[in-house]
Amino acid sequence: MPDKTSIKSAKAAEKPAGPRKSIARSSASKSENAAAKEYPAAATEPTLLSGGNPQIAKGYGDAPVQAYIAAMPGWKSDVGRRLDALIVRTVPDVQKAVKWNSPLYGMDGQSWFLGIHCFTKYIKLTFFRGASLNQPPPVASKMEHARHFHIHENDQLDEAQLAAWFKQASEIPGERM
């Protein structure tokens, strides 16, 4: 019985030899190839993740939140601007950040009372201690203390109710993240 090595050698011997490639390359041809290689331009717009949520780098302050709002697709960007303005009017000392591709609003920069996230058909507001609010937001959460509020494209915003929730949420201890 022939061993495997001799079978491989026999098959290799049957194949015709192809043209030889030069192993040595001049340094000029290497640099020409490197210069000819095209690299994609830096992304000018954030990537939209699943459901249309913008991918924004983690950051603190107003700038990353404004970048997130500007990157929100379609009607969501207008609603995001209205929500941000309402939050700032209602809670003037609010601290802002973007973490986990979502804007967060808090009072001390370490605990957060509100998060915003885009989904395909709606924007979700998460009140991290929403169960403690007077007239809590209507959508329950898997998290014991959190409540959600969904905003769909043609919904009329009840700014008075939202402002009341923002004010109440800012006055109770937030979620540390």
pLDDT tens-digit series, residues 88-117: 999 999 999 999 999 999 998 779 999 999
More confident call, 169 vs 40: 169
Lowest mean pLDDT among 2-16, 85-99, 153-167: 2-16
Q: Cβ(117)–Cβ(123) under 8 Å?
A: yes
For the cut 50, the answer to whether the pLDDT of residue 161 exceeds it is yes
Write phi, then psi, for 84 (nearest 5 degrees): -60, -45
- Domains of the chain, with CATH numbers? 50-172 (3.90.1150.200)
Structure tokens at 33: 């190839």
Lowest mean pLDDT among 34-38, 104-108, 110-114, 155-159: 34-38
